[in-house]
Structure 1
């Protein structure tokens, strides 16, 4: 039986699968650009502008190749994106209520909760996806973001190709470099950033893979959590408790072990002890919506929300681990560096550049593996 953390991890893995589709497509697009740039790159010209004019004349062909690649990607990725969001939501349904019931040893209380769960499951199965839960809207937004990526990717391929040609031609005119040397330097600099042009609401510019990964992580992780919350609401359980993780960031740390309400208000509130049926006072830190606005459950967040049963549920202790949040971020930085060199390898037009890029990929991957091993981390994918 999966825990909420495992379900969120599974949701994030589905999001990564979609992002990997775009990473693969990005490499193919960069290879197409590099192949066009490398054509006749060593050929001497009486007219220095002849190579530049010939490459620009092939822009239409490159655009059609890119359109075919993006069209294939679009068909596969949209279906995968929608499925990942809906699957993540469905995985969250009912699991927390089941776990809560299993934690209760008092036979009378357990029987009462089992009856509540049975009624809730019947309600949930009849409705499949409860109106107003927003899962369909989450799926729609995820697919809509991918639409913007497809349009932006085609434009970015055009811009990148034009920039490489223009800068290469300009450098060759000085006579300091051969055309191949100049083209490789420009390609190395530009493709290290990836195919860019995707801007989020804060104005940050993303590369293709990172933007898709961010958008899909946000949608799928939220769907998994919302699936839990929908199940709990169906069962009449309003209060939830924030999980405790080994590597929490500054935004999430203050919320660990705190009690939140889905529909009520924060502060002290009277509840009933599920073990004794006696009155009990519960300190509610905030609503789920307020905690989210404050940063809890941000993209890449591994925290989950579980049913809080007054008198029974206790916050989990903080796991004692050798690593900290900074170590997890360093692993991700090393992985980003490896991906950056992977793009450079895809766009290499001379063997030395390709060998150097592949050596760097191995170096950064080895450093990430060593850090994971030393700190006892799990290698993020």
Structure 2
């Protein structure tokens, strides 16, 4: 059971506990119609039922966590195995070898790592068990507090603006006052949920988030153990840290750095590289860290050490907004499920649905502004020989043709010649090199021209270390009124493919550089990374 499923399980458990609390608090409220409702009687009944409520909660939690330890153990064992498999596959890919993972991962592999993984499993299961006990204690305490503290609000009224207005119009019943009092006392708990985990700095964390973090952290460590075991077996202890856009301050200094893996591969100091243990002490692989490490082969250049994150990818600036509304929505949903008063419940439900709408808008913002054609373009890629195509005239940015033209020497336009074929292969259109025109000033001539669509494309190579290299290249194209359709090729650029993809998506998301209509981004190895087109 991975971290996502763990979080989902604990969120369901939290909702069931809130439903249980609401059922027990609501019981006896209906008696007003028959015998007349009295708060003191209701409070006395709730205190009598406290033990039954505690037994019910214990049963709910037990039902959710039964067998959970075994599921976590199974998951971590699998992560250990997958860590070694991924390291072996990476080795085969970059060095052209054909090592068989099943042969390398024999009994000795599992025996060597058995003690380490068992310690990891024991630690995470202990953390989860403590969290379960904390959840039970918290829900029981909250129930007690609601029963006792509600007396103050029943006596003095709930001083929210809306309820004060309602009370001014008509005197509310004792039943209504009890409902509002229970909601007032419980609203802080319902807003935060089961925040039963408290760190040393006083920060409290929701049980679902904590459980997911605990399992995620353990999963990463198990995976790294597997990778490290293979590195150790081949005598390779240098690693490279992955790179991500919008990283946190703790990890920023370690991105793309080559380190010595002294933690999982038994590497020793060489006087040149920092130890992984030192980087971890200073914050690398903190809880919820997105970074990974990959075996570094110094004899090879131009190898990507970052895993592909796929095309359906939210950039960080949108992900932060999405997560904000996700947390806020869950907070309102808990209140909607836990409130007793119908008016409070209705308002909470309305706010929850508003947050869900915001999340929908963020997911669909991509489709509203542009199309991500990457998968379509890859699938339409044609095979076979692509001919060299050159126009026998020159075309400027306005579509005017010129007969007096020239091509530069081939050695000066090697990339342009290569990408004429690549562009035609991916676009499945006849793409021709566009020559320059003699004696024409003040006109722009693109690198490529597609006759059937009268469409111009320019080739740009990404060279340099600027973190805003994507925006810089597009900015120049806009300023000089070059072709609005651009092919980008990664050259001498230290940034990862994922970082460049994120930056390009961000440009389209935020509506920046609107002059540019379509962009295709290719890796150093001439593989298509991203194809975006504005609507």
Q: TM-score, normalised on structure 2?
A: 0.58
Alignment of 1:45-84 (within 5 A): 48-84=39-75
Q: CA deviation at 1:315?
A: 6.8
Root-mean-square deviation (CA), in Å?
2.8
SS at match of 1:149: helix
Equivalent residues of 2:260, 2:269 under 8 A apart:
yes
Distance 1:82-1:241 versus aligned 2 partners, 3 A rule: same
Distance 2:244 2:323 in 1: 18
- CA gap of 1:258–1:341, structure 2 versus 1, over 3 A, is same
Please list, as runs of the form range in 1=range in 2, the aligned pairs for 1:178-189 lying within 5 A after superposition.
178-189=177-188
Between 1 and 2, higher relative CO (CA 8 Å, sep ≥ 6) is seen in 1
* SS of alignment partner, residue 46 of structure 2: helix
Distance in structure 2 (CA, Å) of the matches to 1:146 and 1:325: 29
Q: Could you tell me how far apart the structure 1 residues matched to 2:301 and 2:253 are?
A: 19
Task: Tell me which of 148, 154, 162 is aligned to 2:144.
Answer: 162
Partner of 2:422: none
The 1-side partners of 2:25 and 2:208 are apart by 23
Q: CA deviation at 1:316?
A: 4.5
Residue 95 (structure 2) aligns with: 104
Residues 40 and 89 of structure 1, relative CA distance in 2, 3 Å threshold: same
**What SS does the aligned partner of 1:241 have?**
strand
Give the match for residue 105 of structure 2.
124
From the superposition, tell whether residues 80 and 323 of structure 1 become closer, same or farther in structure 2 (CA, over 3 Å): closer
Deviation, structure 1 residue 79: 2.4
Matching residue within 19, 22, 38 for 2:7 = 19
CA distance, structure 1, for counterparts of residue 335 and residue 209 of structure 2: 16
Pairing 1:349–2:340 present: yes
Please say if residues 247 and 323 of structure 1, whose CA atoms lie closer than 8 Å, have aligned partners that are also in contact: no
Q: CA deviation at 1:32?
A: 0.5
> Which sits farther off after the overlay, 123-132 or 145-154?
123-132
Checking the alignment, whether the CA contact within 8 Å between 2:84 and 2:230 is kept in structure 1 is yes
TM-score of the superposed pair, with normalisation by structure 1: 0.79
* CA offset digits 1:165-212 (Å, max 9, x no partner): 122122112256611122122222321111232223544322221221
Provide runs of 4+ in structure 1 moved above 6 Å.
none
Higher helix proportion (structure 1 or 2): 1
Structure 1 unaligned blocks of 5 or more: 1-12, 269-283
CA distance in 2, matches of 1:201, 1:170: 33
Instruction: Check whether the contact 1:34–1:349 (CA below 8 A) recurs between aligned residues.
Output: yes
Query: What is the number of residues matched between the two proteins?
Result: 338
Gaps of 5+ in 2: 159-171, 262-266, 367-504, 507-535
Q: Which moved more, 1:90-99 or 1:52-61?
A: 90-99
Equivalences for residues 259-298 of structure 1 within 5 A: 259-262=258-261, 263-265=267-269, 267-268=271-272, 284=273, 286-298=274-286
Per the alignment, residue 336 of structure 1 pairs with 327
Distance 1:234 1:359, change over 3 A: farther
